[in-house]
Structure 1
Amino acid sequence: MVRWSHDRRTRDYVARQLAAGRSKKDVLRLLKRAIAREMFRHLTEPCPIDDYSDLRPARQARNITLTAAAAHFNVWPITISRLERGLKRDDTLATNYRQWLNTLIIDAA
C-alpha cells in the first residue's frame, strides 16, 4: 500500500491495471506478485564482492607474517588467511587491513 501511494513506478502500474478494467482487489494481488518477483530477483542475483587478492602479495612484500597481521587486528591468523584467499568476506577488516599495509609502505620509505 505504501508503494501504491508513493512509488511512481507502482502508481503507473496500478493506473495501467485499473485502465485495463481490473478491480482494486485484483490490482493489489497483481502488485503483490510483481513485488515478490522483484524481491526474488534481488535475492537470487549474485552480489558483487570486493577483490581481496591484493592483500596477501602486499603483506608478503613487506615480510609480515600472518601472525603479526592477526595480532595487530586482534583476530586469529586463520581469519586473515581466509580473508586473503577470498574465503571470508569482511569488508571492514579488509579496508582496515589494506590501509594498514599501505601505511607500512609509507613508514618504511
Structure 2
Amino acid sequence: MSTSWRSASSASPPPGGWSSFSGWRSGTRQARTHGKAIIRLLKRAIAREIFRYLTTPVTVPDVSDLRPARQAKNLALTTVAEHFGVWPAVISCIERGTRRDDNLADAYQDWLRAA
C-alpha cells in the first residue's frame, strides 16, 4: 500500500482551493518592488537630511579669549585641566581652536569669569 508522492500531494486541495496559489508569484514580485521603493524613499530621506546639515550654517562659539584670560589670571594649564578633570592637552586644543567641545568651552569661560 505504498503511495507515490504524486497521489499523496494531490489527494486533497488546500482550504480555499488551488486557485488561491495562482497569484503567489506576482505577489512576491510586488513585495520585492515594494521593498525597493521603501529603500529608494529611505535613501532620499537620508540625502535630504545630509544636504540640510551641509548647507545649514553652524554658529561656533568664540574661544579666542580663553588663553589670554587664563594667562591674565596667572593660571597654569594643569590647574585648569585638574579643575575640569581632563588632560592639559585638551584645554590647550580648546584654547587654540583645534578641538571643539562647546560644553567644556562654555564651562571654561564661565569659570574664568568667576575666578
| TM-score bin (small chain) | 0.5 to 0.7
The root-mean-square deviation of aligned C-alpha atoms, in Å, is 2.4
Structure possessing the higher radius of gyration over alpha carbons = 2
Count of aligned positions: 77
- Decide which of 70, 84, 90 is 2:101's aligned counterpart: 90
Deviation by residue 1:47-101 (Cα, 9 ceiling, x = unmatched): 2211111111110110101111101111100000000111111111111111110
Q: Residue type matched to 1:47 in 2?
A: V
**Residue 81 (structure 2) pairs with residue 58 (structure 1):** no
Aligned to 1:81, what secondary structure does the other structure show?
helix
Unaligned runs of 5+ in 2: 1-36
Aligned to 2:68, what secondary structure does the other structure show?
helix
Structure with greater helix percent: 1
- The percentage of aligned residue pairs carrying the same residue is 44
Compared with structure 1, are the counterparts of its residues 36 and 70 closer, same or farther at alpha carbon in structure 2 (3 Å cutoff)?
Answer: closer
TM-score with structure 2 setting the length: 0.56
What is the 5 A alignment of 1:36-47? 38-45=48-55, 46-47=57-58
Aligned to 2:112, what secondary structure does the other structure show?
helix
1:103 matched to which residue of 2?
114
Q: Residue type matched to 1:40 in 2?
A: I
- Decide which of 66, 76, 85 is 2:87's aligned counterpart: 76
In the alignment, the residues of structure 2 paired with residue 66 and residue 85 of structure 1 have an alpha-carbon distance, to the nearest angstrom, of 13
In the alignment, the residues of structure 2 paired with residue 35 and residue 74 of structure 1 have an alpha-carbon distance, to the nearest angstrom, of 40
In the alignment, the residues of structure 1 paired with residue 46 and residue 110 of structure 2 have an alpha-carbon distance, to the nearest angstrom, of 41
Aligned to 2:62, what secondary structure does the other structure show?
coil
